[in-house]
Amino acid sequence: MMAMARHGCPAKAGKPGGASGRAVAPRARGRGAWLAALGVAAGVGIVGLVVARPFWCGGVQAPALAPRPQAGPLKQEPPLKDAGRAEAPSPAGLVDGSAPPAPQAEAEGPTPLADIPLREETFEVARRLVEDFPGDANALGLMGTVQNRYGNTAEAVTWWQKCLEVAPRRADAYHGMAMIARRKGEYQEALQLWRKAQEIDPALVGMHGRCAEVLLEIGKPEEAIAAAQKEIAVSPNDVEAHLLLGKAHLQLKEHEKAAANFEKARRLKSDDSRSYLGLATVCARLGQADKAKAYTEQFRAVRAEEDKASVDRKKMATSRAWAAEVLSQTRTDAGRLYAAHRNLEKAEEHWRRAAAVDPKNRLCRQHLVDLYMRTGRDREGLTFCEQLRALDPGNPTYHLNTGALLARLERLDAAEEAVRKAIELAPERPTGYRSLVRILLFRKQGLPEAKALAQRLVELEPAAPNYGLLGEACRLSGDLAGARAALERAMQLDPGNEQIRSAYKQLQ
């Protein structure tokens, strides 16, 4: 296995998830050559009912673990994005099309009492990456991340500097070193490092907000406002940035602007005591005694809950749970790096271990679902999809992928239920409608509903394939005029699509 890892050879992959050679395909062939000509469900069997790749793929960053600092290598979860049909792995070899792991910017330790075996395993993972990929900036950066998380800040800076020697335009490495400088009270050094990071990547999440904190601490509220506004441009719903704006405006005695930002922070995160304290302060300065008293009481109540949570966090920071979380996140990033070097067997090993040690790690499970959907290991993929749905039942992405896998396993009732749930959660996104229309057309059930759903689909996404689905829904419902109109529109949008032209000719 190590020989394969060193040479970057992928392990056995199996057939692609969208292959038509699955057991369901022969039964599907007889469901209608017209539908096959359109390239929708029947011609490729149940596999074609829904996309073969998870919906968090398609060139966007995968959702990140909630506990990770914002400036880390895996950004916050983006809005649901349609992935379309299955695609080949990207040239970089990543199974999700996103960037390889980058340096982590913020320490979560030190934790001297953390579980020693898990800590040693974490460092061993990082050491093995550096051995296997000695010239890879991601491996060097990840070692810096591990050192930083366990409070070894000098070592972390050393490794991030090595990362920058290989890849000078790594804004996150500068950001990580700036965070360490700030914790040491070296404010000017921190600001200088952040300026370098801003030149490289002004959209790096968390950087401008941290810079605003320092500017406030050294008495530069005007500059802090400019920095916090840049953070809000990157992350409009960033609570910290709105709190910083409130503090800066308060320092400048701009009370109305301060109150507006504290109120925005309160709406975004009602269990954060700082917004109530800010509002109480503003009201007191404006002579609004009753409001100041009410906000002060709310501040005390929320702060009491925060104090309890703080005690729990401190206990966790010296526990096996914290060490397991760090190990899981490190193995998740290690898996991405091995995937980038086309060693999917090693990547899977890391992701499975990450899932085993941290039952709440969504990202490693997302990578596993992606891998299993690509390689036709549908039952294994479904297992992790169900875990994701349990972890975040309000995420429509997870229901869509569950529906995809259930359909490929010929469990169409359950697939339909999962896709309907996705539509309920994200009624303005076209992917769920497209999947449900394909299921209904394949089963030839609920055709009037399929036609209505297809009409909604083209309203949301007026693309040629969607008009093709609408045309088929109309045809099966007996509305030949509607079918012709839909296909004519499809041909206008995609004049070179021979499948749509062939389907249109069959209606003449």
pLDDT higher than 60, residue 322: yes
Residue 62 clears pLDDT 60, i.e. is over it = no
Band (pLDDT 50/70/90 cuts) for residue 283 is: very high
Q: In the prediction, which pLDDT does 111 show?
A: 46
**Mean pLDDT across 152-167:** 96
Q: pLDDT tens-digit profile of 218-252?
A: 999 999 999 999 999 999 999 999 999 999 999 99
pLDDT of 476 over the 60 cut? yes
Please give the pLDDT value at position 507: 86
- Ramachandran assignment for 498, one of left (phi > 0), alpha (psi -120 to 50 degrees), beta (any other): alpha
Residue 333 clears pLDDT 60, i.e. is over it: yes
Q: Give mean pLDDT, residues 1-14.
A: 34
pLDDT at 262 over 70: yes
**Mean pLDDT value of segment 100-115:** 48
Mean pLDDT of 94-107: 40
How confident is the model over 314-337, as a mean pLDDT?
85
In 3D space, the residue among 294, 296, 364, 303 whose CA is nearest the CA of residue 336 turns out to be 364
* Least confident among 26-35, 133-142, 422-431: 26-35
Does 297 or 110 have the greater pLDDT score?
297
Is pLDDT above 60 for 104? no
Mean pLDDT across 24-38: 33
Structural domain boundaries in the chain:
25-54+393-508
What confidence tier does 27 reach under pLDDT thresholds 50, 70, 90?
very low
Phi-psi category of 63—alpha, beta or left, where left has phi over 0 and alpha has psi -120 to 50?
beta
Residues near 223 by beta carbon (within 8 Å), at least 6 away in sequence: 215
Helices (H), 184-254: 187-200, 207-217, 221-234, 239-251
pLDDT of residue 79: 27
Check pLDDT > 90 for residue 100.
no
pLDDT at 340 over 90: yes
Residue 114's φ and ψ, nearest 5 degrees, are -60, 155
Are 86 and 17 in contact by the 8 Å Cβ rule? The answer is yes
CATH architecture, domain defined by 25-54+393-508: Alpha Horseshoe (1.25)
pLDDT category, 307, cuts 50, 70, 90?
confident
* Spatial separation of the C-alpha atoms in residues 239 and 266, rounded to whole Å: 8
Query: Mean pLDDT for the chain?
Result: 80
pLDDT per residue as tens digits for the range 125-152: 999 999 999 999 999 999 999 999 999 9
Q: What pLDDT score does 313 carry?
A: 62
